[in-house]
A and B are shown apart, each in its own frame.
Chain A
Amino acid sequence: MSQMTLSRTHAAPLTPGEFHRFDAAGQPFVYLVPSAGVFRLDEASLAVLDALAEADMTAEQITAALQPRFAPGAVIDRIGELEGIRALGPAGESNGQVPDVLPPKGFPLTTMVLNVTSKCNLACTYCYEYGEDAIVEQSTKPRFMDDETARESVDFMFAQAGSNRVVHLTFFGGETLLNFKLLKGTTEYARRRAADCGKRVEFSLTTNATLLRPEIIDWIVENEVGVTISMDGPREVQDGLRVFRNGMGSYDVILPRIQELLRRHESRPIGARVTLTSRNLDVITIYRHLTEQIGFWEVGFAPVTTASCRDYAIEDAGFDRMLGQFNELAYEFLEHAATDRHHGFSNVKDTLEEIHKGVSKAYPCGAGLGLMGVATDGDVALCHRFAGSDEHKIGSVSAGIDVERQYEFLEKHHINEKTDCSKCWARPLCAGGCYHEAHTRYGDTAAANLHYCEWIRSWTHTCLEIYGELAERNPDFLAHFDA
């Protein structure tokens, strides 16, 4: 008989399971790890967990400790329910990690990111493709993708899509619109192939907006292409780091082009994607400028990916400042969502959706699984950030995926392999963070991004509070995420 059986007598001490406690709208909640379930507690269940937070106790000791506040029967009921959801359990027994099971082979592709060119007409200081932390040796690869490679990529995408009815084709760069001719031909070909396969294809692209000429806007509108514009904020911010090769700022060039696109392109929401550095951390000013003055529907912020030694890298004090402003915007989002009004802070919306669905990740993102990046020469990499890096190649569009290499990657990067994450309550949502960030900081895609752990936990806590508050005040808003 196992030790486990022997310890499960009713006199066995109980210990708290793995969870994160938070309060919202005056109510107590738990976020369970690793299941990612969110439950609201009542007063007696909260008292049980509070008692156990002091020391492991048997059920008898807990009932005794909580008398006369709660009757023994009521406490035993709560212990049963809390044990059912694994918020507590017998001391000395494992709470159970996410099983070390790899995704099934032939996992269907949802999104293919096509790096149509590695050339860019801007020279942003922090660029991960050209800047000081570049990982791809640009001189060994063609600067522009050719039509044949693009068509092969589309064939590859539909072959890999398996049972997925809808596939997403994202054009990326360099500056994507430098290879506009290829985009036109590729979208036409992809539509034809989609019709042959009985699937639907959706297009999107990322651009720095410098080349948004009228004929390009026409094409975007006609093809209902989703557009994300890389832009950092008001003139003084944008022109600080997003510059042309001669050092001239790009703000005045892109502003009229963006305004024209926003005026004409109404079928898909247009978002701005802001890179935050130590030199531009004024999140709220940037947000107001991009939404209220320029008119973007959504704005997403991401800290710059860089080695810690760069002068634009964000250090601890910068992260605190950024987080403070993220929180302010997040609570502004809450007040809008509580009354069914739109708010464009996309970072909080993305996290709320993951909390609502109860996402518990074995991998931080879909790279190398449901998402792959294709380099200009047709090599397939984990994602667009690694496209063109021989070290991170997992196949090619002509020869297909090297399944052995792909699964070697998946084995090595599973959350259970990240010791540093094994005790962190935020791991169901974070799972160690971006592979590219880890590679840039630590030289290893499998490393956990320890430099922003505190920040991720704090941000996840804020999002849980907002989620709990919305669940109390306007649950219909959360139901939108079920669609």
Chain B
Amino acid sequence: MKHLKPINRKASRIEAHLARDASGAAAAGEHQPEPHGSPGEEKDVVALGGILPEVPDFPHIPLGCSLVFFPGWEADETGGTAGLCQPVERDLFDCHLACFWPAHVPDQLNSSPDWTGKCAAAQKDWRKLDLIFP
């Protein structure tokens, strides 16, 4: 590390850890992980042992989401929701924040800017999302 100076003890440990990682990778004969934006391989690609071709950006698809309405996501095999492969609450954030498929959630730009204020981690805190009555 040449440009950042570790000041406290924890920073020194972080620096030592990074130096160990770098020397370990060098000793294993691998390419050193390069920073984002540099040409060449990325960390994850190195881990897979090969170079991936450039992949164009495309919409983020939430984990477990399907592009068509298969049972298993919206409804279980009996038509209910008790046996879903993912809990229904899971899509509250992933769908409305990142998915091209709009989820019906309050307008967080105008009328309900604090709707998610108490819900930092959807998996744990989804119960804190309140109903909004326009």
Contact = CB atoms under 8 A, between A and B. Distances in A.
Interface of A: 3-12, 14, 29, 32, 35-42, 44-45, 58-60, 62-63, 76-85, 90, 92, 355-358, 360, 416-417, 419-420, 422-423, 467-468, 471, 478, 482
Interface stretch (B4-12, B69-77, B84-92): B4-12
Contacts of B38: 10, 59, 76, 80
22 contacts: A8-B44, A10-B39, A12-B36, A32-B11, A37-B11, A38-B8, A38-B11, A39-B4, A39-B6, A40-B5, A79-B36, A80-B38, A84-B18, A85-B11, A357-B9, A416-B121, A417-B124, A423-B120, A467-B7, A468-B7, A471-B7, A471-B8
B43 A8 contact: yes
Given A3-B61, A58-B37, A77 B10 contact: no
A11 B57 CA distance: 9
A215 to B, nearest CB: 45
Contacts of A35: 10, 14
Contact of B10 (A14, A36, A78): A36
A45 B44 contact: no
Contact of A422 (B43, B45, B120): B120
Contact of B3 (A8, A9, A78): A78
Given A6-B55, A358-B9, A41 B4 contact: yes
Interface of B: 1-11, 13-14, 18, 34-39, 42-45, 48, 54-55, 57, 60-61, 63, 98, 118-121, 124-125, 128
A423 B7 CA distance: 24
Contacts of A32: 11, 14
Contacts of A58: 36-37
A37 B34 CA distance: 22
A59 to B, nearest CB: 2
A376 B89 CA distance: 48
Contact of A76 (B35, B60, B63, B98): B35
User: Which of A4, A85, A417: most chain B Cβ within 10 A?
Assistant: A85
Contacts of B121: 416, 419, 422
A11 B52 CA distance: 14
B7 A59 contact: no
A70 to B, nearest CB: 11
B18 A76 contact: no
